[in-house]
Structure 1
Amino acid sequence: MDPTTPRPALNKSLGTWQLWGIAVGLVISGEYFGWSYGWASAGTLGFLITAGFIALMYATFIFSFTELTTSIPHAGGPFEYSRRAFGPTGGYVAGFATLVEFVFAPPAIALAIGAYLNVQFPALDPKLAAVGAYVVFMALNIAGVQIAASFELFITVVAIFELLVFMGVVAPGFSIANFAKGGWSGQDGFSAASIPGMFAAIPFAIWFFLAIEGVAMAAEEAKDPKRSIPIAYIAGILTLLALAAGVMLFAGGAGDWTKLANINDPLPQAMKIIVGEQSGWLHMLVWLGLFGLIASFHGIILGYSRQIFALARAGVLPGVLGRVHPRFHTPHWAILAGGVVGIVAIFSDELVSFGGQTLTANIVTMSVFGAIVMYIVSMASLFKLRRSEPGMVRPFRAPLYPYFPAFALAAAVVCLVTMVYYNLLVAGLFFALGLLGYAYFRLTGRAQATGGTLQSAA
């Protein structure tokens, strides 16, 4: 390409409702599966407390994170905030953590899509269905961000409607006695023995809200990020808080919740307790349940591709991953690269199924490690930039500063420490990958490439 010819850039085409759709859609699969693994260690009541703590962490985090997103609206998101606050190494840590979060979440969701399809088609291999999902939605993301975001908004609204239908159908059979039975790590009463299970359940409570911060990766493609991103974030977290509480309570009160604690499709199984295996409601839930999984799967592909794209554009990853398709104006090589990693994870049972947890549980935990490290570095960046760049234009300022970001930071540190304690093997893999990536980052001289200001692709 002639160096004087402008390179294809990302399109600024996303409105407020589309950003809200991305915010909720990125996360909404977390209401369908993943969280119920927390019941296995904490019980329903113990996990309710864990989830409440995590919900408070996310609420304070999002109100604080929005300040960074609107002040520095780049596709790199946390990578750019931390690079600006702490230099190349800070940028690398945030970029690596975000990449792990967004690359490892999709294979877990894809496996859940396969599990839902397997309910209807028992002969269908869930892993092959998961690969098929990757192929379809990578292609849709390559086709254009406007198409992808409009599809995301539609499918997110359908997924929300379906969760409300689930609550309405199981409500007649709801019993608080069912929910509370054995609700403290398998015991009917709280004791000191209940506390370890509550800490061990932290990754699965985080799964309720994981990836909402991915809207930051679409900030560069927003028409008016300073106005639309705060609205999308705040409306998104409120929507997810309401849905998470409703799904958890109604599923747990439907019957014997212990049968839902270690499976990928807790909502259909909870509904089966109420309406029976042959009910049309159950079949509707299985089919419509796919909408929630697809919404998150599709949205996170958008998120990971922008993170890979931004890291490559800044020189942290190979430059080919920072190219934009000349016709569709999407980072096509970044989309494909993240998909390859996800598909490999799906077929890596021997590598990913260890520590007494299932393949899905370990992938979820790896993704959560990335998220928590990124939250810590992002909140530290907020404090640092307030001091080092007091004159920065901040269209949205974190309310109750410094208390909101301080609580979010402290809560994230608690989460990280407890997750390392209860997941030593996954933690070891996460930090080993980080160190290998950092060695590459330093030895290739790419650290210096991030020292300047990251230029917008727009």
Structure 2
Amino acid sequence: MNAKQAAGQPALQQTLSTFQLWGIAVGLVISGEYFGWSYGWASAGTLGFTITALFIAAMYTTFIFSFTELTTSIPHAGGPFAYSKRAFGPTGGYLAGAATLIEFVFAPPAIALAIGAYLNVQFPEINPKLAAVGAYAVFMTLNIVGVQVAATFELLMALLAIFELLVFMGVVAPGFSITNFTKGGWSGQDVFTTAAIPGMFAAIPFAIWFFLAIEGVAMAAEEAKDPRRSIPIAYITGIITLVLLAIGVMAFAGGAGDWTKLANINDPLPQAMKMIVGEHSGWLHMLVWLGLFGLIASFHGIILGYSRQIYALAREAYLPPALAKIHPRFKTPHRAILAGGAVGIAAIFSDELIKIGGQTLTANIVTMSVFGAITMYILSMLSLFKLRRAEPDMVRPFRAPFYPVFPAIALAGAVVCLVTMIYYNPLVFCLFAAFLAAGYVYFLATKDSRALHAAPTTTPIEGV
């Protein structure tokens, strides 16, 4: 029993099933199949981006198999924050927690803008930014109402999104041409040359977008009925599902026609289908509407993720403790949900701040989120290695297979991604570093407060 439960205060409830956790794992990510990734075609071409995407898929697969060991050993709402704090102390916890927070707070505004873009296809008079704000209002409310309601809705949206992606592949399949996919596929060239390599590296953030945020399942660990059993199943089946969908969506979209028309837009799937069925087809209108399910699934799921990260950090005074309040009726961290939403909405309207480096607003928000994710991946794998050495007797319900090879592959891949992203996105990285530095000043200034509010990060769940 945790401290809050012992004191009779509201606490997170353990209600989530394995199937719901799988829905969260897939739902968190599945918007990445709908948009964001196609920006990688602009720099790498279809073939170059395929190489990049396969590299990232290998990194994520080995990462998830390794990360699952940490999640089941330390089932905590803070996820990576808790792992790094246990391995490297308060500073390590701060870095992992802040990086994860940046990832999960900056991903939703990019998805919200895509929701606005999809609605604008059907209703041109709708302002995409105002639609994005409306999405925040609706799904923050749904997350506040209760985790069981939120997780069930997330599962439904994930299933509908998968169905819709399969429909997309089926509808465009008759018009698929491998010639379309390969034409100019090496950064505008039909034949591979060394000039294509820089573009492949520059496309890394958009390949990561295919899988970004799957690790958010870790933040639901305190609300899982049986985290030691259900989390490994959810993670492993989730990453398999997403890899297969990513390959299918990318291949069929690129083979539908002139892929260069899809490389810098927020709605590549409807536009790819339009090449096959025409602008007035009922299939196209169905795709636009059903496409919202995938965007909503990720948007809704990441709100759940960022709220638990804010809650966990505030619970231990890494953020203002007032953000750790649990709603007395709904048993959800309502203040954390609202706080993360406020930052996301501000990002939507921060064109002059985030629209830098010649990239679109969405592309830079995606890149900012990916910087947070990659930093967290590195710290998590380092934590795994450290805890294996420092705490060999820790109870590990799931152990990373092929240790130390799998975590080493994940760590090396993440380091390559981080170095590459810094090289190609120096301005966004400077902004990312500025956020970390500002947070570190707060971290140092609140040291005494943390000593008073500190809660255990090792056994937050009764019986674990």
Provide TM-score, normalisation by structure 2: 0.97
Partner of 2:404: 402
Which of these residues, 57, 73, 76, is aligned with residue 74 of structure 1? 76
Contact 1:23/1:212, CA 8 A, preserved across alignment: yes
The answer (yes or no) to whether the contact 1:67–1:394 under 8 Å persists in 2 is: yes
**Residue 198 in 1 paired to residue 200 in 2?**
yes
* Residue in structure 1 matched with residue 327 of structure 2 by the alignment: 325
Unaligned runs of 5+ in 1: none
Q: Separation in 2 of the partners of 1:351 and 1:154?
A: 36
How far apart, CA to CA, are the structure 2 residues paired with 1:449 and 1:176? 62
Amino acid at match of 2:161: A
Alignment match, 1:456: 460
User: Which residue of 156, 159, 165 maps to 1:157?
Assistant: 159
- Residue 5 of structure 1 deviates from its aligned partner by 5.0
Q: 1:178 aligns with which of 174, 177, 180?
A: 180
**Map of 1:366 onto structure 2:** 368
Decide whether the 8 Å contact of 2:327 with 2:333 is kept in 1: yes
Report the CA distance between 1:443 and its aligned residue. Answer: 1.8
Matched, 1:224 2:226: yes
Q: Describe the SS at the equivalent of 1:188.
A: coil
Task: Show the counterpart of 2:383.
Answer: 381
TM-score by length of 1: 0.98
Within a 5 Å distance, the mapping from 1:422-441 to structure 2 comes to 422-441=424-443
Q: Runs in 1 of length 4+ with deviation above 4 angstroms?
A: 2-5, 446-452
Q: CA-to-partner distance for each residue in 1:257-305, whole Å, 9 max, x for gaps?
A: 0000000000000000000000000000000000000000000000000
1:73, CA displacement in angstroms? 0.3
Query: Are the equivalent residues in 1 in contact too, given 2:41–2:260 (CA < 8 A)?
Result: yes
Query: In structure 2, what is the equivalent of residue 234 of structure 1?
Result: 236
| Separation (CA, whole Å) in 2 of partners of 1:114 and 1:3 | 41
Are the equivalent residues in 2 in contact too, given 1:9–1:457 (CA < 8 A)?
no
Q: 2:95 maps to which residue?
A: 93
Contact 1:89 1:447 in 2 (8 A): no
450 and 195 in structure 1: CA distance in 2 versus 1, 3 angstrom threshold: farther
Pairs within 5 Å for 1:45-64:
45-64=47-66
Identity %: 78
Cα distance in structure 2, aligned partners of 1:107 and 1:365? 12
Structure 1 Cα separation of the partners of residues 36 and 259 of structure 2: 14
Deviations 1:198-248 (A, max 9, x none): 000000000000000000000000000000000000000000000000000
Q: Which residue of 2 aligns with 1:12?
A: 14
> Is 1:134 aligned with 2:144?
no
Q: Which AA in structure 1 matches 2:386?
A: K
Amino acid aligned to 1:258: T
Query: What's the CA shift for 1:20?
Result: 0.1
* DSSP 3-state at the match of 1:193: helix
Deviation for aligned residue 1:448: 4.7
Select the residue among 404, 411, 414 that pairs with 2:416. 414
1: CA distance between counterparts of 2:393 and 2:224? 24
Could you tell me how far apart the structure 2 residues matched to 1:4 and 1:38 are? 50
Aligned residue in 1 for 2:338 = 336
Is the 1:102–1:304 contact (alpha carbons within 8 Å) kept by the matching residues of 2? yes
C-alpha deviations, 1:366-390, integer Å up to 9, x for none?
Answer: 0000000000000000000000000
RMSD of aligned alpha carbons:
1.4
1:354 positional shift = 0.9
**Shift in Å at residue 444 of structure 1?**
2.1
8 Å CA contact 2:46–2:186 kept in 1: the answer is yes
Instruction: Report 1:108-147 matches (<5 A).
Output: 108-147=110-149
Question: Which residue in the other structure is 2:267 paired with?
Answer: 265
Return the offset for 1:315.
1.0
Distance 1:169 1:4 in 2: 56
Task: Kindly state the Cα deviation for residue 4 of structure 1 after the two structures are TM-superposed.
Answer: 8.6
Alignment-mate amino acid for residue 48 of structure 1: T
State the number of aligned residues.
457
* Structure 2 equivalent of residue 105 of structure 1: 107
